Amino acid sequence: MFILSNMPVAQKRNLGTKRSGVLGLISRIWAQRDLQAMAIPGVIWMIIFNFIPMYFIIIAFMRYNVAKGVLGSKWVGFKNFTEFFADDRFWLVMKDTFGLNLLRLIIGFPIPILFAILLNELLSTRFKRFVQTVSYLPHFLSWIIVGGIMYNWLSDSGLITTLLVHVGLLKEPIHLIGTPQYFWGILITSETWKEIGWNAIIYIAAISGIDPSLFEAAVIDGAGRLRRVWNVILPSIKGTIAVLLVLNIGNLLGSNFEQLFVFYKPVLYDVIDVIDIYAYRLGIENGRLSYATAVGLFRSIFAFILLYTANKASKKLTDTSLV
């Protein structure tokens, strides 16, 4: 009581505000206790698999020995990083990573947008639902299954190879999936086919949320389908496109590891050796866990810089950002 009585009026008000804020937060949590209880398993999962493992990032700065553990391993500072930058394959790894992901961004990013717009233009609701359902299905196939399909279709006696020979695009049957110069095209095509329907969901939802009166006004003004797409649909979903583009730019150093691992073979090292595959090969196959962790940490830091820069650019150019 003595402390409170001698407090300045402004400080008392701040204390009261803090208390009311804390009490308000507690009351809101209690009012939403059912929803909060449903979120608890997800929060626990995130803590166990996302936050606790972050402690082991420090092995990137060690010569980690499994038998000695984190506390008993030798501290080497930035030696693993400098070793990675000095590696003969460093620039090849960066070229493969950036090159493949830039192609994915340029080719794979716009296609779901175009697919969603085309789907929206279908007049038959039943046919639209059928196309949507069919386009979703490949997403639920594992890359093991998709890889098996690709191996069968693209072998020297496969369906696609035989078709390409018949139409004259290939002079003789070859094992397409084992030929480095065709491999990036196969990767991007197979991933686009597998994920086009799933990636289009958010664009379809965004288009569905557009005010119908905008389309009616455009029709009254004499706008055709292309004009309605350009002047109504694209401006209305530009925020969604901007956010997803920022996320994709932030993943320019990432990779679809499951897809790459299915096709992983020595003959393709020069075109498949992205950062994730390189870290797997050095860390798991060769047992250099500290080195692989340093490579992964470098990738994460660089990805954060890309994400932050893209987000700032999006905020300035489109007034849309992640935060």
Q: What is the residue range of 51's domain?
A: 2-72
Instruction: Verify that 210 and 64 share a domain, yes or no.
Output: no
Q: What is the pLDDT of residues 215-225, one digit of tens each?
A: 888 888 888 88
Q: Is residue 238 part of a domain?
A: yes
Q: Is residue 79 part of a domain?
A: no
Output the 3-class SS for 200-240.
HHHHHHHHHCCCHHHHHHHHHCCCCHHHHHHHHHHHHCHHH
Q: What is the pLDDT of residue 165?
A: 86
Q: Say if residues 192 and 135 touch (Cβ distance below 8 Å).
A: no
Q: Which of 46, 72, 98 is the last residue of a domain?
A: 72
| Residue 267: closest CA among 179, 160, 145 | 179
Q: Is residue 257 part of a domain?
A: yes
Q: Is residue 83 part of a domain?
A: no
Instruction: Verify that 107 and 214 share a domain, yes or no.
Output: yes
Q: The whole model's pTM is what?
A: 0.79
Instruction: Verify that 93 and 53 share a domain, yes or no.
Output: no
Instruction: Verify that 176 and 276 share a domain, yes or no.
Output: yes
Instruction: Verify that 94 and 60 share a domain, yes or no.
Output: no
Question: How far are the Cα atoms of 132, 150, 177, 185, 280 from residue 115, in angstroms, in the given order?
Answer: 10, 23, 27, 20, 35
Q: What is the pLDDT of residues 18-38, one digit of tens each?
A: 555 678 788 888 888 888 888
CA dist., res. 183 & res. 179, Å (int): 6
Instruction: Verify that 32 and 120 share a domain, yes or no.
Output: no
Instruction: Verify that 66 and 190 share a domain, yes or no.
Output: no
Q: Which of 72, 97, 121 is the last residue of a domain?
A: 72
Instruction: Verify that 117 and 63 share a domain, yes or no.
Output: no
Instruction: Verify that 269 and 308 share a domain, yes or no.
Output: yes
Domain total in the chain: 2
Q: Which of 29, 47, 72 is the last residue of a domain?
A: 72
DSSP string over 7-30: S-HHHHHHHHHHHHHHHHHHHHHH
Q: Is residue 217 part of a domain?
A: yes
Q: Is residue 173 part of a domain?
A: yes
Walk along the chain (323 residues) and give the pLDDT tens digit of each residue: 434 444 454 544 554 555 556 787 888 888 888 888 888 898 999 999 888 888 888 999 998 888 888 888 889 999 999 999 999 889 999 999 988 999 989 998 999 999 999 998 888 888 988 998 899 899 998 999 998 888 888 888 888 888 888 888 888 888 888 888 888 988 899 999 999 999 999 999 999 888 888 888 888 888 888 888 888 888 889 888 998 888 888 888 887 888 888 888 888 888 888 898 898 888 888 888 899 999 999 998 998 998 889 888 888 887 777 77
Instruction: Verify that 60 and 102 share a domain, yes or no.
Output: no
Instruction: Verify that 107 and 253 share a domain, yes or no.
Output: yes
Provide the CATH number for the domain around residue 262: 1.10.3720.10
Return all residues near 270 (Cβ < 8 A) that are at least 6 apart.
Answer: 92, 96, 180
Instruction: Verify that 93 and 68 share a domain, yes or no.
Output: no
